[in-house]
Structure 1
């Protein structure tokens, strides 16, 4: 009898507790908050006015720092240490030293990609670490920091005392002094030489054979001297820019992150719970997330959709509520942009909660009855 009394007491306490022991999670609606101070976070209703305000206040997605700092006009290539120069003095073949050859091309990343040549040995003069080349008659000639035209003019002036009206061709045949590094979700990551073709963001992605389908081009980062710029490539035109205007310099790092690095989390009464990646353009709205996660029509309560935005930096945690029962509210949700790490929770319908409580109570009662029968049998 004591066991029976205990089981009945447990069931009665559970029934009087207002379904407090319902299995699974739940989020109270704003009307169920006993006091704002108790929760610590206010629940904001998603309305057309809120969507309009968020759209006007949102910072541009293309840069965490000012991406306009990377915009620059194309400049001619300037010779640097380790570059290989081809110097031909017409009518003086003795000034070309055949045994001075250097490996350039695909292996070393020295030739322009457009040349399309495999790695090979070419005759030339390598620029030393001090920025000079050794050339007959003039001994050491400082060429680092000069363009091809400037180096050609300088060499002509140095040879005039020895050669009457010297005719010289000077070209960089091995681009080995300046490189950018492309990594992440691209087909051909690695060091990419800066050549006489200006190295822009578009060119860097091109020489890396483009981004993989798993890459997120809306959050490409360019790191320069410890400062990181985030660039939304598909939407640069919205800000009057394009990827060909973003100039890269020696030492820059370009990274295309995986799309899975940026997701929202779907929870509650949805058929596809778990992380949901952003679209290829880096955007995802609340309505799109609800559509892709597919709310369970049998158990979900469309009037109780909650969005939890975790605290980030100086921004406190935020909680938004959407009543998605009407087409108007779904249209509002279609204009509500989500951010990485947002949590979307679809609450259960009231009858579902009740059934879960009853199932738990009847299960507990059955277990207590079985224990009692076993005790009486003993």
Structure 2
């Protein structure tokens, strides 16, 4: 009886295994199928065929421009605006004049301040000026970057860079670091084209009251007076130069100024006010200095208000950008954005669709390894296909199957160079033993049931 059972099982198993093609159907790429309406052309993936496949035109979709924008700076010119000229009244003629010289200023390099205009320039070769990857277009047209109220300059593609209070060398290092962080060629030179942050005012008995800027070179008293057109006092006995600094008034009689060269070389500093007075009484000079103090306070208050307005404007812009970006990301999550996809099927780690990235092309390796790669236990690495339809509508059923033979591991390098196109299908065939294993898995319950039935009979 047992021999009959086992004989029957053997016969049944042989018949079922022989008909496994009918029992178990698995997908595959076969250009010779007669019942197929598609015209399939199988081409091996080689260095030459990769170049041919990559020639097909494709423009990757781009992220919205909001992802490349920054809050930037203020849109309006801010500041205190024009201020009235000082009013000068003459007093009585002086008697003896006392000499009071301000203390010497320690030597220090120039530090960048609010209002300075910085110029970024690239090295020159002959008469050609190279541009820094779209960064220095404004500078090459001689439009520098003004240090704004918050102490920063706004550079396209880089953002706001804090430079106030830094020396030129320190600012260059800061800019170099920011350019490298934004992957921009950091070849540049930095200079101050307009000095607006440090000034000395000159008034009184001069040809032209003025405000002289302090530049990279120290500003001396004689140079400040020359910038105002020189002293116009005719009587040297009753004229003096008064310097207001940090709440203290210093006085130099004009006759001593002309006779002592060291007095003419007194170095001035930011905020000094120089007043050429032809009278002994200090009322006129004091009124002038008080006016300068009030003007400085007014400008400081206006600067603080402008800075607050700038911060509010930048914050509003940044919030609007963030909201727009979040809305777009939500649309991506809800799949309401038109995107290009590649589809993975067959013996891959996870059958899925792979979204082509924004702004760049993806490769076969990118898509395969995004789905956990090819499991070598079940997947046939010799038959990794990229199925691509013909772009010609007259050949709607025609497709090309680009085959990667992964039995040679060196060929996987080609997968990193094979560019994908929208609606490509990546198919990995199954191992031959996998097919048999699945057939046996399906028929084993039938064999057991048959054996059980025979034993009962």
TM over 0.5: no
Using structure 2 for the length normalisation, give the TM-score: 0.35
Q: What is the TM-score with the length of structure 1 in the denominator? A: 0.41
